[in-house]
Amino acid sequence: MDKIRTPSLFPQRKKQKGMHPSISLSSFEVKFNELVIFIIEKKMGVTRRRFLMELARRKGFRVENELSDSVTHIVAENNSYDEVLEWLRGHKVKDSSRFQLLDISWFTACMEAGKPVDLENKHQLTVQQVYPITSNIPESEASSFVAGRVSQYACQRRTTLNNCNKKFTDAFEILAENYEFRENGVPCLAFMRAASVLKCLPFTIVRMQDLGGLPCMGDEIRAVIEEILDEGESSKAKEVLTDERYQSFKLFSSVFGVGLKTSEKWYRMGFRTLEDVKADKTLKLSKMQKAGFLYHEDLISRVSKAEADAVSWIVKDAVRTFLPDALVTITGGFRRGKKIGHDVDFLITSPELRQEEEVLHRVIDLWKKQGLLLYYDLVESTFEQAKLPSRKVDAFDHFEKCFAILKLHQQRVDTSCCETSEELDEAKVRVWKAIRVDLVVSPFEQYAYALLGWTGSRQFERDLRRYATHERKMILDNHALYDKTKRIFLKAKSEEEIFAHLGLDYMEPSERNA
C-alpha cells in the first residue's frame, strides 16, 4: 500500500545548503513550556514528520527540528525501544535516561486533547520484555522470546499453525469480519493485524502486562483482550454473532460467487436466509451463483488433506497429459501445512517458452469428456493491460485462471449399516463430492513471484508488500519486484531469492500462517 502523501500546510521555500526545510519556531504561540518534543523521522518519512510537527506547533506545543539538550520527549512511530536507543547512539547520545521515549500514540492523544496528556504505560517505549516461561511451550523457545523484537510486519514474524492465543484471535477475526461486511476498512485491518501478531507468540497471553512491547495493540484491541482475560469472552464478538445483518452476510457470502455487494443487495431486499433468495423467482443469478447454490452443501463443508491430495493427482494427471514437463504446485493453506481448507489452489507453469498458454483450455475439455467438471469460469490473461508491478496491496494479478468445481469420486459407502430406504438411497447416490479448485497459469520467468503470492497467508502477503514499499523502496506483486531506487526489475528463480532481494530472512511456507 502506498504511503499517503499529506500536502504541506505551508508553501515550500527553496532549501539552502546544509539546512533542513522548516518553519520558524516563532510562527505559533507556545502554550506548553514544560515539555519540548522531538519526532524521529525513522520509519515515518519526511513528509509525515513535517506534517505532525506543524500540527503540534499549531496547538501550542514546542517541537524541535533537531535533537538538542532542551528536548524532553522523543516520539517514534513503529520503532521498538531498542531501535530508538540505536538511533540515539548513532547521534552520539550517551545518556538516554534524560528523555521520555514515547510511542506515537501519546502524541496522537495530545493532539486530540489539544494539550499534554498524562503518560501511561501504553505510551512508553520500554526495555525489551522477555516473557515468563509457560507450561504450554518449550522452555528454550519461551525464554528466548523478546517482545521488543516483534516486528509490525508479518513477513518478519515466523508464524506456524500453533496458535497459543486462539481465544483472542477468534474474537478479533469475528470483529474484523463484521467491519469488513460494513466496509469499514480501518478497524477491520487493525483487528486483522492484531490477530496476526498474537498468532506468532510462543506463549499464551495471561495478563495485560504480557502485551508490553508488542506492535499493533491499540486501545480497542487492548479493551477486547482485557475483557476476555476478565470475563472469559468478548461481549462485542458475542453481540456480533447474534447480529442479524452479520448472520445474513455470513450466510450469503458462503455461496460461491456471492460477494459483499450482492450480500448487501439481498439484505436490502429483505432476504435473511438462502431459502428467501431461492424463493424469489424474479432474481437473476449469475452462472457462478447458480452453481454455488446447486453444490452449496458440499462447498461449505471442509476439504480434508486427503481430498486435496486426491484432487492434486487429478490436476497433475490432466495437465501433464498435454505438458509432460509442467510444474504443478499446490498453493494456499495446504502448502502452508493446513490439514483442512475450503478449496484447493494450484499454480501451473512450464520451462518451455509459452507452452503453458493453451493448457487450461485442453484440461477443461478433458475434464468435460471425463465427466469431472461440474462448473468452470475461465479468466483469460490480462497482461496486455497490466501495469507491473501493481502498487496496490490487495491487487489482482494478470495470470490466466480457471475457477472450477470438480467432481471428486470417493470410496463407495458401506451400505450394510443403513437402516432405512432413504439412508440406503442417499448412500448409493453420494459417491462423489463437489470440490472448489482454482488453477493459475504463470509464465516460467514469473513463477517464483506467483508461487510466493499464491501461497499466502493473506496478512503475510499484505505485510510483505507493505514492507517492500515502506522499508525497501520497492514494489512487489505476484509478477515482479521493482527497485524504485535503481529503476530495475529484480529477477528471481526461487522464493529464497525474492526474500534475499528484500533483505529478509527466508521463511518456509509453514511459517507464513499470519
Question: Residue 240: which of 184, 201, 297, 200 has the closest Cα?
Answer: 184
Active-site residue set:
343, 345, 438
| pLDDT at residue 258 is higher than 50 | yes
Q: Which residues are bridge partners to 408 per DSSP? A: 433
pLDDT band at 145 (very low <50, low <70, confident <90, very high): low
Q: Sorting pLDDT into bands at 50, 70 and 90, what band is 137?
A: very low
pLDDT at 116: 92
Residue 46 near residue 72 (C-beta atoms within 8 A): no
Task: Decide: residue 170, CB within 10 A, 0-12 exposed, 13-18 middle, 19+ buried.
Answer: middle
What value does the mean pLDDT of the chain take?
Answer: 86
What is the domain partition of the chain in residue ranges?
A: 25-123, 139-240, 243-294, 303-443, 455-511
- What is the reported pLDDT for 12? 40
The matching CATH number, chosen from 3.40.50.10190, 1.10.10.10, 3.40.50.300, 3.40.50.970, for 25-123 is 3.40.50.10190
Whether pLDDT at 343 is above 70: yes
What is the amino acid identity at position 384? E
Q: What is the dihedral of CA 240, 241, 247, 251, to 10 degrees?
A: 130
Amino acid making up residue 382: T
Residue 424 reports pLDDT greater than 70: no
Q: CA of 274: how far to CAs of 296, 297, 301, 328, in Å?
A: 10, 12, 16, 36
Contact of 215 with 280, CB cutoff 8 Å: no
Cell of 197: 501478531
Please report which confidence band the pLDDT of residue 246 belongs to, taking 50, 70 and 90 as the band edges.
Answer: very high
- Looking at residue 338, its pLDDT comes to 97
Q: What is the pLDDT of residue 421?
A: 64
Q: Given the C-alpha cell 500546510, which residue does it identify? A: 9
The predicted structure's pLDDT at residue 382:
84
pLDDT digits (tens, 9 = 90+) for 40-52: 998 888 888 998 9
CATH class of 303-443: alpha beta
pLDDT of residue 90: 85
Share of the chain above pLDDT 70, in %: 84
Nearest-5° Cα angle at 184, 178 to 189: 80
Segment 354-383 shows an average pLDDT of: 92
Identical fold at 139-240 and 243-294?
Answer: yes
Is 90 exceeded by the pLDDT of residue 455?
yes
- The domain covering 139-240 belongs, at the CATH homologous superfamily level, to DNA polymerase beta, N-terminal domain-like (1.10.150.110)
CATH 1.10.150.20 fits 243-294, yes or no: yes
Rounded distance between C-alpha atoms, residue 497 and residue 493, angstroms: 7
CA angle 219-197-187, nearest 5°? Answer: 45
- Residue 252 CA to residue 257 CA, distance in Å, equals 10
Average pLDDT, stretch 421-435? Answer: 69
Average pLDDT over residues 391-401: 78
Neighbours of 46 (CB within 10 A): 10
Contact yes or no for 382/398 (Cβ under 8 A): yes
pLDDT in tens, 268-319: 999 999 999 999 999 999 999 999 999 999 999 999 999 999 999 999 999 9
Residues paired with residue 376 on neighbouring β-strands, in sequence order: 404
Q: How many Å separate Cα 285 from the centre of its chain?
A: 31
Residue 415 has pLDDT above 90, yes or no: no
- Give 419's pLDDT tier (boundaries 50, 70, 90): low
Q: How confident is the model at residue 3 (pLDDT cuts 50, 70, 90)?
A: very low
Q: How far apart are CA 367 and CA 364, in angstroms?
A: 5
Distance CA 465, CA 153 (A): 10
Q: What is the pLDDT of residue 412?
A: 42
133 pLDDT tier (thresholds 50, 70, 90): very low
DSSP 148: G
Q: Cell 498453493 belongs to which residue?
A: 331
Most confident stretch, 85-89, 347-351, 390-394: 347-351
The span from the first CA to the last CA of the chain, in angstroms, equals 18
User: How sure is the predictor about 422, in pLDDT bands with cuts at 50, 70 and 90?
Assistant: low
Q: What is the pLDDT of residues 470-498, one digit of tens each?
A: 999 999 999 999 999 999 999 999 999 99
Q: How far apart are CA 439 and CA 360, in angstroms?
A: 8
What pLDDT score was predicted for residue 426? 53
Task: Tell me which CATH code domain 455-511 carries.
Answer: 3.30.210.10
What is the grid cell recorded at 33?
A: 513550556
pLDDT of 428 reads: 52
Strand-pairing partners, residue 63, are 37
